[in-house]
Structure 1
Amino acid sequence: MADQSLSATLPPLAAAGPVFGLPPLPYGAGDLKPVLSAETLQIHHGKHHARYVETLNHLLSDRPDAPRTLEAVVRAAQADGERGLFNNAAQAWNHAFFWESMRSKTSRPGGLLAGAIASAFGDVDALGRRFIAEGTGHFGSGWVWLVARGDALDVISTHDAGSPIVEEGVTPLLSCDIWEHAYYIDHRQDRAGWLTIWWSMLANWHFADRQYGAALGHGEPWRYPAPRAA
C-alpha cells in the first residue's frame, strides 16, 4: 500500500459521523533522542498520523450510524471489505498504539509478563532476537507486534495497515513501526539497526505489563480515545 500523500488538501469536514482526534504524544518530541529525533516525531506524528486521522474522519463524515469506538470501526471495515476505511482507521489506531509502546527510558518486563516470556521464549533477550528477526524478515511496509492470546505470547508481523485487533482473543502488548518513514531520517534504510535500538532503548515494558494483565482479565486493554459527537 502506498503511503498517504501529505500534500493533497481534503475538503472542509461537515460531520454526521464520529470525529476522532489525534492523540498527543505521551512524551515530548525531543524525549526519544538519540533513537528518534524531534524531526522524525514531528513529521511522523504531526503529518503522517494526523493525515490518517483526518482522512478517517472524512470517510466517516456521512455515517451517523458508524461505530463509536475506533476499535469497532477497524473491525467493521475489515469484515465489510471497506479497504479505504480500514487502511485509515487501522493506521490511526496502530500509530497511537505505537506511541504508547515507547518511553524515553526502557525497563524490563515484570510480574506475570516476565514469567510468560520465560515460558514462551526462555528470556527477554531471546524474545528480543525473535522480535528483531520477525521485523527484519518482513517484506515491505508494516508492523511487528508482541501479542497475547490469552496467557500465551507470540511475535507476529502485519502488512501495511494490518492490525491484530481484528483477531478475536488477541491483545497487542507492544508494536514497532517498520514503515520506512518511521526511521529513515535517523537510521536510513537500516531496519535491523532500527529494531535493535528500539528494542533495547525504547520498548515500554510498563505499558506491556498492563496490556498483558488485561489479556488475563485484570482490567481493560488500551483503547483509542473516544470520538467527540458530530
Structure 2
Amino acid sequence: MAYETPQLPYPLDALEPYVSTMTMDCHYNGHHKAYVNNLNKALVDYPELAAKSPEELIRNLSAVPEKIRTAVRNNGGGHVNHSMFWKMMAPRAGGEPSGKLLQTLQSAFGSFGEFQGKFEAAGLGRFGSGWVWLARNPSGALEVTSTPNQDSPLMEGSYPLLGCDVWEHAYYLKYQFRRGDWLKAFWSVVNWPEVERRLDEKGA
C-alpha cells in the first residue's frame, strides 16, 4: 500500500498567529504531500521496501539500492520528519513543560532557559535548510543537534523528542529571513505532552 500524508491533528489556521494559515497550507498540502508522492514513486519497483514503515527505511538506508537511496533519504526523511512535526505542535500550547520532562531538561542542560538557548542557537547555526532537534542519543543522553535537508536523528541511531523545521518554507511567508523570530515563536506552539510521551517511549 502506498504511503499517505497523515491527517493533521488540527485545522490549518489553528496555530495562528505563530504559524500562519498560508504557511500551514503550503507546508502540509504542498511540501509534505510532495515528499510522500516522490517516496511512492521511488519505491514503485521495490514492493519489499514499500512494505516497510518509512522509519524503517531511513533507519537502514544502506539496505536501500543505491539507485533510489538519495530519493528515499530525502523524501522518506521528509515524510517522517513532517509526520512527527505536526504532532509536536498544538494550538493553545507552548510555555514551559512541567513534571518529569522539565526535570529531565534541567538535569541535561542546567535549566529550561539554557535548553531553549542551545536549541535556538543550533537552529540559527544550521546553514541552509534543515532541522534542529532535541534527541536521545544511543547512549540514552539527551542532546540538541541539527541535521541538514530532511535527515533525521533516526539515521544516526538517535530518537527525536522535539524537532523544529528551519527550511525557509516553514517560516518565510510570515517571518521572511528572520529565522530567529520563527524559532522564538515556535515555543508558543510546542506540544509538551507529546514530547513527554516520546520521552517515555523506548525509541531507538
Fold shared, TM-score > 0.5 on shorter chain: yes
- 1:113 CA drift (Å): 2.0
**CA deviation map 1:128-186 (0-9, x unaligned):** 11100110111110000011135421100000111001122x21111000000110001
**Residue 48 of structure 2 is aligned to residue 60 of structure 1:** no
Residue identity in the other structure for 2:156: E
The alignment partner of 2:181 has SS state of helix
Distance in 1 separating the partners of 2:57 and 2:109: 34
User: In structure 2, how many angstroms separate the alpha carbons of the residues matched to 1:136 and 1:79?
Assistant: 33
Q: Does 2:28 align with 1:41?
A: no
Report whether the alignment pairs 1:198 with 2:186: yes
Quick check: 1:116–1:151 contact (8 Å CA) kept in 2? no
Aligned residues: 198
Quote how far apart the aligned CAs of 1:125 are: 1.4
8 Å CA contact 1:44, 1:181 repeated in 2: yes
Q: Which moved more, 1:181-190 or 1:63-72?
A: 63-72
TM-score (norm 2): 0.91
Matches within 5 A, 1:53-202: 53-66=36-49, 67-77=51-61, 80=64, 81=66, 82-104=69-91, 105-149=93-137, 151-168=140-157, 170-199=158-187, 201-202=188-189
Cα distance, 1:25 vs. partner?
A: 1.2
User: Any stretches of 5+ residues in structure 2 without a counterpart?
Assistant: none
1:23-82, Cα deviation, whole Å (9 max, x unpaired): 111111011000111111011100110001001011111112114211111123355451
Q: Is the 8 A contact 1:110 1:209 kept in 2?
A: no
Contact 1:78 1:86 in 2 (8 A): no
Paired-residue identity, %: 37
Partner-residue secondary structure (3-state), 1:65: helix
Contact 2:58 2:73 in 1 (8 A): yes
Unpaired runs of 5+ in structure 1?
1-17, 222-230
Q: CA RMSD in A?
A: 1.7
Question: Any conservation in 2 of the 1:116–1:152 contact (CA below 8 Å)?
Answer: no
Letter aligned with residue 93 of structure 1: V
**Contact between 1:171 and 1:212, CA under 8 Å: does it hold in 2?**
no
Residue identity opposite 1:112 in structure 2? K
In the superposition, relative to structure 1, how do residues 151 and 75 fare at CA in structure 2: closer, same or farther (>3 Å)? closer
Q: Which amino acid aligns with 1:64?
A: P
In 1, Cα distance between equivalents of 2:185 and 2:95: 14
Match of 1:14 in 2: none
Letter matched to residue 145 of structure 2:
I
> What's the counterpart of residue 7 of structure 2?
24
Using the TM superposition, give the Cα deviation of residue 106 of structure 1 relative to its aligned residue in structure 2, in angstroms.
Answer: 1.8
The residue type equivalent to 2:37 in the other structure is E
Give the whole-Å Cα distance in 1 for the aligned partners of 2:24 and 2:7: 11
- Once residues 180 and 155 of structure 1 are traced to their aligned partners in structure 2, the CA distance between those partners, rounded to angstroms, is 20
CA shift, 1:204, in A, is 1.2
Shift of residue 86, structure 1, vs aligned partner: 1.1
